[in-house]
């Protein structure tokens, strides 16, 4: 079970790389107001959701404690990210505020995941 959990943590991290990496490639464009939500961001956010839910199930099946408040907050933040990216996925330009919000919420979730032990 440990190996399976670690595989899903790795997939979870690949999801972060895709979501945050997509954001970082657009930072210069964001400054100019021409950033867009690239497909990597949507796919990364979806990967986070699927792997995150799988990790909750795997940890529970393995009798490991899951911090429900922490996971609940991460889930709500990810749903906001996913909603913003999904709704605006076909728009060629996304406002600076909205784009920055997705990057900021992603970074916030990373710190919640790592600092809340």
For ligand HEM, which is the closer residue by CB, 10 or 27? 10
Q: Which of 65, 90, 97, 114 binds ligand HEM (CB under 6 A)?
A: 114
Q: Which of 11, 12, 29, 101 binds ligand HEM (CB under 6 A)?
A: 12
Return the residue matching tokens 């979501």: 19
Tokens standing for residue 52: 């995150």
Check if the beta carbon of residue 66 is closer than 8 Å to that of residue 59: yes
Q: Which of 71, 84, 85, 94 binds ligand HEM (CB under 6 A)?
A: 71
CB of 64 to ligand HEM, least distance (A): 8
User: Residues in contact with ligand HEM, total (CB under 6 A)?
Assistant: 21
Stretch that binds ligand HEM, among 8-16, 25-33, 34-42, 85-93 (CB under 6 A): 8-16
CA angle 32, 87, 34 (to 5 degrees): 10
For residue 78, give the H/E element and its range: helix 68-87
CB of 3 to ligand HEM, least distance (A): 15
């Amino acid at each position: 079970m440990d190996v399976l959990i670690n595989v899903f943590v790795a997939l979870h991290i690949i999801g972060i790389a895709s979501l945050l990496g997509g954001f970082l490639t657009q930072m210069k464009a964001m400054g100019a107001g021409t950033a867009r939500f690239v497909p990597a961001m949507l796919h990364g956010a979806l990967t986070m959701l699927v792997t995150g839910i799988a990790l909750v199930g795997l940890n529970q099946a393995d009798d490991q404690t899951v911090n429900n408040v922490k996971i609940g907050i991460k889930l709500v933040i990810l749903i906001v990210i996913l909603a913003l990216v999904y709704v605006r996925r076909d728009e060629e330009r996304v406002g600076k505020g909205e784009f920055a919000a997705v990057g900021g919420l992603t970074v916030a979730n990373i710190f919640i995941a790592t600092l809340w032990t």
